[in-house]
């Protein structure tokens, strides 16, 4: 399953009306390699995916929303920048392992495989934060039977011990979303205009998270 950042297909069907008298309506804007060029712009263009990771900011249309900074957690110090870690998640958004692309003649979608990166469901959510609760308990009979395994993971990994009750309440994880900026939308429109040499109306660009 994937979470996607996409070009709205319905809007793109009306991307271009007519380019000059007698010229046909452009009905397949992303055929003939133009979809691949749009993917490149969405990833590396002005205020695209790459820049959002660098700036630690979601660029959505004309708005800029800084990502929540990380914080110290037990013996783990807060990273200088968030959402980097091993770099694999950022790489997937940039086209590396786990990247998903869907290109049709009228739409372009970029995604990340949530099977490999389950955090994408949180970060591409419509909600500003998600409450993550523990799911597994210690099943081995003994003094720790029935306790949340998350409690032991935190304690043994980060040296921070919480009560079983506190862990059971869950933890609020803030969204760090990747979106589509107006600058990207304009750049896609410019690319199409240059190829078709005419005035064009660029359709709406949106982000969406899969179910």
**pLDDT tens string 47-82:** 999 999 999 999 999 999 999 999 999 999 999 999
Domain boundaries, position 12: 2-118+177-209
- pLDDT value at 10 more than 70: no
pLDDT tens-digit profile of 85-105? 899 999 999 999 999 998 888
Residue 143, domain member (yes or no)? no
Name beta bridge partners: 3: 112, 209
Confidence of residue 208 (pLDDT cuts 50, 70, 90): low
Helix then strand then coil, in percent of the chain rounded to 5, is: 30, 20, 50
- pLDDT value at 209 more than 90: no
- 112 and 2 Cβ atoms separated by less than 8 Å: yes
Residue 170, domain member (yes or no)? no
- pLDDT value at 9 more than 50: no
Q: How many domains does the chain have?
A: 1
| Nearest residue to 173 via CA among 105, 204, 116, 127 | 127
pLDDT top residue among 192 and 45? 45
Confidence of residue 211 (pLDDT cuts 50, 70, 90): very low
How far apart, in whole angstroms, are the C-alpha atoms of residue 21 and residue 53?
44
- Residue 18 pLDDT: 43
Residue 144, domain member (yes or no)? no
- Residue 104 pLDDT: 87
Residue 132, domain member (yes or no)? no
Residue 153, domain member (yes or no)? no
Residue 169, domain member (yes or no)? no
Interstrand relation of 99-103 and 108-113 (parallel, antiparallel or unpaired): antiparallel
Residue 187, domain member (yes or no)? yes
Residue 167, domain member (yes or no)? no
Please tell me the pTM assigned to this model. 0.80
């Amino acid at each position: 399953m994937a979470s996607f950042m996409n070009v709205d297909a319905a809007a793109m069907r009306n991307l271009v009306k007519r380019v000059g008298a007698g010229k046909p309506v452009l009905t397949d804007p992303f055929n003939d390699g133009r979809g691949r060029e749009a993917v490149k712009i969405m990833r590396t263009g002005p205020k695209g995916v790459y820049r959002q990771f660098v700036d630690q900011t979601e660029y959505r249309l004309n708005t800029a929303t800084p990502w929540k900074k990380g914080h110290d957690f037990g013996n783990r110090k807060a990273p200088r920048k968030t959402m980097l870690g091993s770099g694999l998640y950022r790489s997937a958004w940039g086209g590396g392992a786990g990247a998903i692309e869907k290109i049709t003649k009228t739409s372009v979608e970029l995604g990340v495989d949530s099977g490999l990166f389950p955090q994408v469901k949180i970060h591409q959510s419509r909600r500003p934060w998600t409450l993550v609760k523990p799911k597994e308990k210690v099943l081995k009979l003994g003094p720790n039977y029935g306790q949340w395994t998350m409690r032991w993971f935190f304690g043994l990994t980060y040296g921070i011990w919480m009560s079983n009750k506190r862990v059971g309440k869950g933890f609020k994880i803030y969204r760090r979303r990747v979106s589509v900026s107006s600058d990207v939308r304009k750049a896609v429109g410019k690319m199409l205009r240059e190829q078709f040499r005419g005035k064009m109306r660029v359709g709406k660009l949106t982000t969406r998270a899969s179910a």
